[in-house]
Chains A and B, each alone.
Chain A
Amino acid sequence: MELTYIKAINSALHEEMQRDENVFVMGEDVGELGGAFKATEGLLEAFGEERVIDTPISEALIIGAGIGAAVLGMRPVLEMQFADFISCAFDQIVNSAATLRYRHGGRAQCPIVVRAPSGAGIHGALFHSQNPEAWFTRVPGLKVVAPATAYDAKGLLKSAIRDNNPVIYFEHKRLYRSVKENLPEGDFTVPIGVAELRKEGADLSVITYGGTLAPALDAAKIVEKEDRLSVEVLDLRTLLPLDREAILATARKTGKVLIVHEDRLTGGIGGEVAAIICEHAFEYLDAPVRRLAALDTHTAFSPPLEEVILPNTNKIVDAIRNLAAY
Chain B
Amino acid sequence: MALERDKHTAQRALLTLHEAQLLELYRRMVLIRQFEEKTAEMYARGKITGFCHLYAGEEAVAVGAIYALYDKDYVVSTYREHGHCLAKGADPKVVMAELFGKVTGISKGRGGSMHLFDQDLRFMGGYAIVGGGLPIATGLGLSVQYNEGPEVVCCFFGDGALPQGAFHESLNMASLWKLPVVFVCENNFYGMGTLVQNAICQEELYRFAQPYKMPGVRVDGMDVLEVYGATMEAVARAREGDGPSLIEAVTYRFRGHSMSDPVEYRSKREERIWQERDPIKNLRRKLTVERHVAEGRLGEIEAEVARQIDDAVKFADESPEPSVEELGKGVYAGS
Given contacts A55-B173, A91-B129, A141-B331, whether A68 and B108 have CB atoms under 8 Å apart is no
B267 at the interface (CB under 8 A from A): no
On whether the beta carbons of A95 and B139 are closer than 8 Å, the reply is: no
On whether the beta carbons of A105 and B108 are closer than 8 Å, the reply is: yes
Chain B residues with CB below 8 A from A164, complex form: 333-334
Chain B residues with CB below 8 A from A65, complex form: 135-136, 138-139, 142, 173
On whether the beta carbons of A141 and B129 are closer than 8 Å, the reply is: no
- Docked complex: B98-153 residues within 8 A CB-CB of A: 105-108, 110-111, 115, 117-120, 124-125, 127-129, 132, 134-144, 146-147
On whether the beta carbons of B117 and A108 are closer than 8 Å, the reply is: yes
- Docked complex: A155-182 residues within 8 A CB-CB of B: 163-165
On whether the beta carbons of B330 and A66 are closer than 8 Å, the reply is: no
B109 CB, nearest partner CB in chain A, Å: 8
Binary CB contact string for chain B from 308 to 335 against chain A (1 if under 8 A, 0 otherwise) = 0000000000000000000001111111
Question: Which candidate, B51-59, B162-170, B286-294, is the interface stretch facing chain A?
Answer: B162-170
The chain B residue with its CB closest to the CB of A50 is B146
Chain A residues with CB below 8 A from B142, complex form: 65, 68-69
Choose one: A71, A73, A105, A165; the contact of B110 (CB below 8 Å).
A105
Choose one: A60, A104, A141; the contact of B165 (CB below 8 Å).
A60
Given contacts A60-B165, A111-B333, A165-B332, whether A71 and B140 have CB atoms under 8 Å apart is yes
The chain B residue with its CB closest to the CB of A76 is B139
On whether the beta carbons of A58 and B169 are closer than 8 Å, the reply is: yes
- Docked complex: B168-221 residues within 8 A CB-CB of A: 169-170, 172-173, 176
- The distance in angstroms between the C-alpha atoms of A103 and B143, with both chains bound, is 21
Choose one: A56, A63, A67, A109; the contact of B333 (CB below 8 Å).
A109
- The distance in angstroms between the C-alpha atoms of A282 and B106, with both chains bound, is 45
- The distance in angstroms between the C-alpha atoms of A91 and B106, with both chains bound, is 24
On whether the beta carbons of A64 and B335 are closer than 8 Å, the reply is: no
Q: How many A-B residue pairs have CB under 8 A?
A: 135
A300 at the interface (CB under 8 A from B): no
Binary CB contact string for chain A from 70 to 106 against chain B (1 if under 8 A, 0 otherwise) = 1111100000000000001001100110011111111
A133 CB, nearest partner CB in chain B, Å: 18
A134 at the interface (CB under 8 A from B): no
B163 CB, nearest partner CB in chain A, Å: 14
- The distance in angstroms between the C-alpha atoms of A61 and B137, with both chains bound, is 10
A150 CB, nearest partner CB in chain B, Å: 28
For this complex, 17 residue pairs linking A to B, each with C-beta atoms less than 8 Å apart, are A50-B146, A56-B176, A60-B169, A63-B135, A65-B138, A68-B138, A68-B139, A69-B143, A91-B166, A96-B127, A100-B125, A102-B330, A102-B331, A103-B110, A103-B117, A108-B119, A141-B331
Contacts A61-B169, A68-B143 known; 16 new A-B pairs at CB < 8 A:
A50-B146, A56-B169, A56-B176, A60-B166, A61-B170, A61-B172, A64-B135, A68-B137, A72-B147, A100-B125, A101-B330, A103-B110, A104-B119, A105-B105, A164-B334, A165-B333
- Which 6 interchain pairs have the tightest Cβ spacing? A64-B135, A68-B139, A106-B330, A164-B333, A65-B139, A105-B108
Q: CB within 8 Å of A: which residues of B?
A: 105-108, 110-111, 115, 117-120, 124-125, 127-129, 132, 134-144, 146-147, 165-166, 169-170, 172-173, 176, 329-335
